[in-house]
Amino acid sequence: MPARSLSNNTPCLLQGGSGPLCAGMIILLCVVLTCGCITPSSGQNSLPGNASTLAVPLSLPPSLELPGITPCPPVTGAGNVSNVPIITIDPVADHAAGDWITFTGTTNLAAGENLSLTVMSSDLHPCAKSETPPSGDSVDPCSGGVTATVPVRPGRCGANTWSYTVDTSQHGFQPGSQYLLIVTGRQDQAVNTTLFTLLDLLKS
């Protein structure tokens, strides 16, 4: 029985893919498949060249943000952050007699102003007749102590600093005695005090 020829309705692919119509259908099919493969997707499957993955974020995640810097408060006409003069004294630990002690603190007084510092025994007693009277920067050679003028140094946000170092082997300091540190500024408008003890121990 002779072979039956394929009808014109048989898909062109089954006829060997010949003819202009089949060529057009093949091209159209390739275009559709290609578009389906390169359509950008959202999320982690985006292609490296996708504009959405290359966009610069408007803000960093909280974990990557730089630490914030607190702005300084406005400075008053008096040259400090408040109109009330303030002096602070950092805690002073007890020391052995003969130690060098550095006193430190802060103030809202302007840099360049001078503070008056006094270290004196909290247990005042008169000098014996045979002892020499006070002289120089010593407060009282009978109970020990020292006075000094301390400049205010620049700080940040009006919190300027001051410091002073004293050698307790000098100025008549006595072991086993308690001493009073007094710091004043701007004609005694700002005053602060603290206590510390010189222990009756041999300096190591």
Whole-structure pTM over 0.85, yes or no? no
Residue, of 40 and 30, whose pLDDT is higher = 30
Q: Can you give the three-state secondary structure of the chain, one letter per residue? A: CCCCCCCCCCCHHHHCCCCHHHHHHHHHHHHHHHHHHHCCCCHHHCCCCCHHHHCCCCCCCHHHCCCCCCCCCCCCCCCCCCCCCCECCCCCCCEECCCEEEEEEEECCCCCCEEEEEEEECCCCCCCCCCCCCCCCCCCCCCCEEEEEEECEEEECCEEEEEEEEECCCCCCCCCEEEEEEEEECCCCEEEEEEEEEECCCCC
Residue 167 has pLDDT above 80, yes or no: yes
Q: Note the pLDDT of residue 157.
A: 79
* 76-106 confidence digits (pLDDT tens): 544 445 578 999 999 999 999 999 999 999 9
Q: Note the pLDDT of residue 83.
A: 72
* 99-150 confidence digits (pLDDT tens): 999 999 999 999 999 999 999 998 766 666 555 555 555 555 566 789 999 9
Q: Note the pLDDT of residue 158.
A: 72
Topology of domain 95-125+135-199, CATH: Immunoglobulin-like (2.60.40)
